Structure formats: structure tokens, C-alpha cells
Structure 1
């Protein structure tokens, strides 16, 4: 991976979101909906929130959400979306480079959905901070791309993270943490030109023990 300073990283994501008016579908990530749908709403932290689809879904389902992203363009779109849905009292958005900074406080749910990047991203630091931010009894969910979709135009070999690799990287004390799920999972998806495919995601769901 190439080395970028903070301005280069921010410029990369501003260019990415500037490619068109809407980059993502606006739908909640399905694994987040599945996991959070079984939890009692509380405070949630959405890391790499992008244009806010997950934050909107969480807020509509009773959560108070802090969404973080490095791109001001993405955060502006997220803010517009929650304002249109009258969810401003349940959402806060923060522009931040998570490789260097992290929101203060603790949360009942910390979500990192596809927090992967072709430019500099200190996932080890971010995941360590994420674990510290989970309140007793709270849940940390990490979802990664486990393999490239068939329509991806990768010009070089790209090594995708594994479930085992991420768990080793986080290295949480089993006395304090319970593993609820940690495995590759499949989901149906539609590509940019209408192609249908089954994609592989890596799903990790960890709960901080209330008495840990």
C-alpha cells in the first residue's frame, strides 16, 4: 500500500464522492440491520459512515448515532438526508481521520462496515479504539469484503482481510469479550450494470461482557 499524508487521504475520498451525486445505494448494510435489529437501541457509533444510510436506519430504529467520515462531501449528503427525514435530534456527524483521531465516549453499538481503503487506513489502531469505545454489554460489529465482486476491475493482486486475521489483530481478552459471530457469509448483490452475483463478506460480531 502506498503512503499518503492526511491531505492526500482526504483528497482521495473527496474525489471519490465527487464522481457523482450519489455513490452508494442509500440502503442500510444488511448485516448491520440483522445484528442491530436484535438489540435494544442505545448509542451507536458508525465508522466510515459515508452518505449516512446506516446512520439513517439506526436513527429510524431508535438509536442515537454518531457518524464519522473523512469526507466532508459525504457528511454533507448524510446531514441532508437526516434533515429531510427529521432525524437531526438523533444524529451527529463528525469529520475525522480515524487513523489519527477517534470520537470520545462509549457506545452500545460500534459499527465498522467495509472500513477498507486503497489509501492509508490504520485499521489496527481503529479497531483497538473501537473496542475501547464499546460500553459494557455493548456490541462491536466489523464487516469486510472477503473477496472482490466479479465486476471489480482490479489491476493488481489485492489481499483481502480474513476473519482470523482481523480477530488476531484486535486480540481481545475472552474473559471480557464474547464472540457472537465470526465467519465468512454470503449475500446476493447486483452490480453496476445489473449483474447478479453472490458476494463473500467477513462478519465479526463481538459483545463486551457486562461484568468483564
Structure 2
């Protein structure tokens, strides 16, 4: 009998991902967050998949009260240190959730999900539907997802799905009478391989307002 190894659990994968290096991300907020949320009136925000906390810290520094969520304890510990060093730790509540199984309580003026894509099991559309349900009336849902693999990558490391601009909106199926699409845009970004090969990749950005 052939033994098929059990798939890696998401919590184990992401904990290992963060423990491999002292710091994984740049510490700077995502450009799409800065561009799309920079002029919003601060209120309450939910950051899904907060990683090492750069987006949450940026929001808190601008007056938002943030609930920041990640699956990896190591990421949340680093994020909390980043917030404390930036002097905004008291404005952020850190919560560990395996999205798709558990989800933060409440509604928020801004719900962000940046690059919520994974090589291990993840119910992306189900999570984003819950994210939309967590947006308060008058609030904003902001989503950024990779739209392609980098051009320098000859063979993808795993077979992932890249939602199209129209495809994601169709999956969310948000009613037109209560939601307005403010932004649905593809961005081309420079991308350099670990070996220094230059190229680019496409990112997709959606900003929706609950009316």
C-alpha cells in the first residue's frame, strides 16, 4: 500500500514560515493600503492576515483603532513589538485566528485583506465573504491579491488560483443596492528573483464601500 503523507496544517506551515527568518517582510505598509485608505476618516479597522504588523501600525499611527489577525503566533509577537516601538501598541488588539475556522467578532469601518493567498489550505472566497459581512454601514472593504506569478518564475512552486477583477466580484456576489465598487484595478509591480533577475508581476486591488 502506498502511503500518502497528510497535507501540512496551515498553522504549522505559517509558523515555520516566520521562524525561518528574524524578519520576513519590509516593515513598510502595503502601497495599495496607503493609496486607497490614506484619505479615509479613521475609525475601527480589521486587518486580516496582518503578518508582522506593518499595515496595522500604519493605520494606528493615523488614528485608527485596529484589530489585527494572523494565524502565526511568531508573526503576532513581532507585530506587537513593532507597534510598541512605534508608540501605537495601545491602539491595536492582536488576535490569533485560523481564518475559515474562526473569525473576529464585531463590525468595522475598514476591513483589509492584503495578499491573503496561501500554498496550504485556505477558503479564500469564504473568508472574503465573512470580511464583507464584517464591514459596518458606510464602511470600506479593501482587498489586494496577486494576479500573476512573477515573470522571471519559470515554474510556479505550487498551483494557486489568481482571482480576476471581475471574477472576485462575482464570487463575492455583493448586492448592488448596498455596495459600491470604488476601485477595481490591476497594478504592475517590479519583482526581482532571489538571484537578482528583474521582472514584474500583476496585483489586483478592489475597494468597495458599503452604502
Under a length normalisation based on structure 1, what TM-score does the superposition of the two structures give? 0.90
- Unpaired stretches in structure 1, ≥5 consecutive residues: none
Superimposed CA distance per residue, residues 156-204 of structure 1 (whole angstroms, 9 cap, x where no aligned partner): 5544221122111110000000000113122334554555433311111
Q: How far off is 1:149 after superposition? A: 1.5
Is contact 1:188-1:197 (8 Å) kept?
yes
Does the 8 Å contact 2:192/2:199 carry over to 1?
Answer: yes
Tell me what 2:45 maps to.
Answer: 44
Secondary structure of residue in 1 paired with 2:47: strand
Task: Single out whichever of 106-115 and 159-168 deviates more from structure 2.
Answer: 159-168
Give the deviation of 1:118 after TM superposition: 0.8
Alignment partners' CA distance in 1, 2:96 and 2:42: 24
1:52-201, aligned counterparts within 5 Å?
Answer: 52-152=53-153, 154-155=156-157, 157-201=159-203
Q: CA deviation at 1:150?
A: 3.1
The CA deviation string for residues 111-159 of structure 1, in whole angstroms up to 9 with x for no partner, is: 0000000111111221111111101111001111001113445245544
Moved more, 149-158 or 64-73: 149-158
Give the Cα separation in 2 of the matches to 1:145 and 1:83: 30
The alignment's C-alpha RMSD in Å is 1.9
CA distance in 2, matches of 1:89, 1:189: 35
In the aligned structure 2, how far is the partner of 1:158 from the partner of 1:135? 31
| Count of matched residue positions in the alignment of Structure 1 and Structure 2 | 206
Contact 2:180 2:209 in 1 (8 A): yes
Cα distance, 1:4 vs structure 2: 4.7
Classify the secondary structure of the residue corresponding to 1:150: coil
Which string of whole-angstrom CA distances, capped at 9 and with x for unpartnered residues, describes residues 81-118 of structure 1? Answer: 11111211111110111111111111111000000001
Alpha-carbon contact 2:150-2:191 (below 8 Å) kept: no
With normalisation by structure 2, the TM-score equals 0.91
The 1:109/1:156 distance shift into structure 2, 3 A limit, reads closer
